[in-house]
Structure 1
């Protein structure tokens, strides 16, 4: 009988198996209904940054950054740097957040508008009041990262079952005892980790565990800049609420950072292309911020789904059922913290608490939603509340 069954073969599930095997728990089974990385993982925009107002998230991101640097080739990590800019009303919050980030090991510094202009010469920087810079930031490939986690775990002894759908979590005498698949097969285990994104909700609900997730369709547009931009960094614009990053082949990936209104979707049935309205928004935002891209054009688009919690932060937590752990609700942040998520879940399985002093498990407890104790930045950005 396996010690741990992991439900979900996306980033977080595979990271969990990777972390468990590194801790000596090699009798692990990952159960994935399709193939590794076939859900939200394959639609990630892949940005790597440590800029979080919540200190524990910043600590998770900076710990994970060491993984991306160590395995850059295998996971497609490109260390382009990351710059974030805010309007005058958010300068104080930016600097306070940066101070908290440095306290947990983030390497972040102020940049002047002139310095940012050398990085993004086609940008209009007039509306910004201040900028922060992470030279270790960049972007990677979430699909390749999930495959890497799964490959390392399998070589260490874990088993991967693809094309297998979990129908039910088995509970005996108040403790998780494994899972039942839709074909009736039962896999017994000492612990069950549910890391299935939005599909985690009904599995947990059947055991009386409420996971408050809203599924949000997130659209992405790839832009042909019409010129050779050179080695530009990731740019997070908290004035017009957008982010852009370079893409292999010279394109630019655009995403909308305005999540004040969610586009509720069915994760099994949604359009995987950007709408005309979103394309128009893209043209407006990119054209306004980057007037130097005079010959830019839309190259392609796609869409994925975020599993969004009430505070836009994940639940990585024990539940009301002994031996049942959840890792879901990543709200678009799962890629950059995935190695740390795996480590935290492994801690919860083995010790029941976090081994990292800057990443207390209490921050990510599932019960905080029912308690009304949401995980929020102490230095929120006016007009950009979802950017933690």
Structure 2
């Protein structure tokens, strides 16, 4: 998808060819006539995006902001081919939150259901005998109730990022892969361009959407972006034949209370299982992509207890990916530092479902438009200045 020759100038340089950078390039070229250049050091979606479980859901506890951006993005995903001319993988699948009454997690789940109802998003609640009838493939003896985000789905990160990038190119963007940005250039307190391993590119504006590499680049313009890269582990299970025939068609996305792992059906006949905010800090350049066998053994036991029909499942594949985690698990979408410098980062393991909205919000920042989606100030970097935890460490792993 990339070009051999590196342009020597662009109006806007988007650093990062994951889903956030590609979405931003798409919306920028749709809304403006700016000359947009996307620079990706490897290939499109070669970082966290390509490892994403790509779940599209709307339940975020009491947060109406995330429910709104997820719903807006989901509408875009449904119309993706119509809007962009690019087909993507897309499978409807409810996301279910299982909970126990009288616990912080249970309160979080109930609050999320209230938000979905207020936004007229489909939601259903099951308790008692209804649980076994609704989810016969799961062991729910310790569960009091479940809230189903009925209109959820899942997709494929590589598919979507590639679709956004090609659509942006069709609207005039230039996409260059295999070129790493090493420095952001500033003159007179304003963006002047970027330095790459292939030379200098002059620019008036730069969008840093480089996932776990963003803090290093932001530091070159004096910004402290508190992102901790976290290594998370994924296994694709090969279910037994009887589970595939009887249970897989109705298997929801979700996991037991606690939020440290979840599962969803995979395209084909597999089941994707992933850890969530359990990995330690890692280096995105050198981390081991092979899961720890001790973690997989522990995960296998948990899966068997939650979904007994998967206790004897085989393994189709396994890998590790990286979350870019902020202290409060909330995004950073902001104009910060020198004039013309924009941030789209810190998506903390739940960014995919919001990617169209993120591209739109960044475009609104660049163009100076007032966003009709949500108040982007919620995502401002300066929330960490007075309190290093920002909005506060979340009670539930969103």
TM-score strictly above 0.5: yes
CA distance in 1, matches of 2:268, 2:128: 28
Report the counterpart of residue 316 of structure 2 in structure 1: 299
C-alpha distance in 2 between matches for 1:271 and 1:241: 20
Q: Distance in 2 between matches of 1:101 and 1:370?
A: 32
* 1:316-339 per-position Cα deviation (integer Å, ceiling 9, x unaligned): 111121110010111111211100
Count of matched residue pairs:
377
Deviation per CA, 1:231-265, whole angstroms, max 9, x where unpaired? Answer: 222123225742110112211111123x3x54111
**2:390 corresponds to 1:374:** yes
**Aligned partner of 1:333 among 350, 365, 369:** 350
How far did 1:353 drift?
Answer: 4.7
What are the Cα deviations for residues 196-253 of structure 1, in whole angstroms up to 9, with x where unaligned?
0111111111111000111110000111221313422212322574211011221111
Residue of structure 1 equivalent to 2:66: 57
Structure 1 partner of 2:365: 348
CA-to-partner distance for each residue in 1:255-281, whole Å, 9 max, x for gaps? 123x3x541111111111211111111
Aligned: 1:133 with 2:148: yes
Structure 1: distance between partners of 2:141 and 2:260? 15
Question: Gapped runs of 5+ residues in structure 1?
Answer: none
Q: Residue in 2 aligned with 1:245?
A: 264
Match of 1:83 among 96, 109, 114: 96
CA distance in 1, matches of 2:23, 2:375: 19
TM-score (norm 1): 0.91
Q: CA deviation at 1:26?
A: 4.5
Distance 1:309 1:122, change over 3 A: same
State how far apart, in whole Å, the 1-side matches of 2:288 and 2:21 are.
Answer: 25
Deviation at 1:367, TM superposition (A): 0.8
Contact 1:59/1:106, CA 8 A, preserved across alignment: no
TM-score by length of 2: 0.89
Bigger mean CA offset, 48-57 vs 240-249: 240-249
Quick one: which of 189, 210, 221 aligns to 1:196?
210
In 2, the alpha carbon distance for the partners of 1:75 and 1:114 equals 38
Which runs of structure 2 are paired with 1:211-360 in the superposition (5 Å)? 211-227=225-241, 228=244, 229-231=247-249, 232-239=251-258, 241-257=260-276, 259=277, 262-351=279-368, 353-356=370-373, 359-360=374-375
Contact 2:13 2:203 survives alignment (8 Å): yes
Per the alignment, residue 166 of structure 1 pairs with 181
- Considering only aligned residues, what root-mean-square deviation do their CA atoms show, in Å? 2.0
Q: CA deviation at 1:30?
A: 0.3
Structure 2 CA distance for partners of 1:293 and 1:180, relative to 1, 3 Å = closer
Aligned equivalent of 1:66: 75
1:28 aligns with 2:36: yes
Contact map agreement 1:11 1:334 (CA 8 A) in 2: no
DSSP 3-state at the match of 2:206 = strand
Relative distance call for 1:198 and 1:240 in structure 2 (3 A) is: closer
Aligned residue for 1:29, secondary structure, equals strand
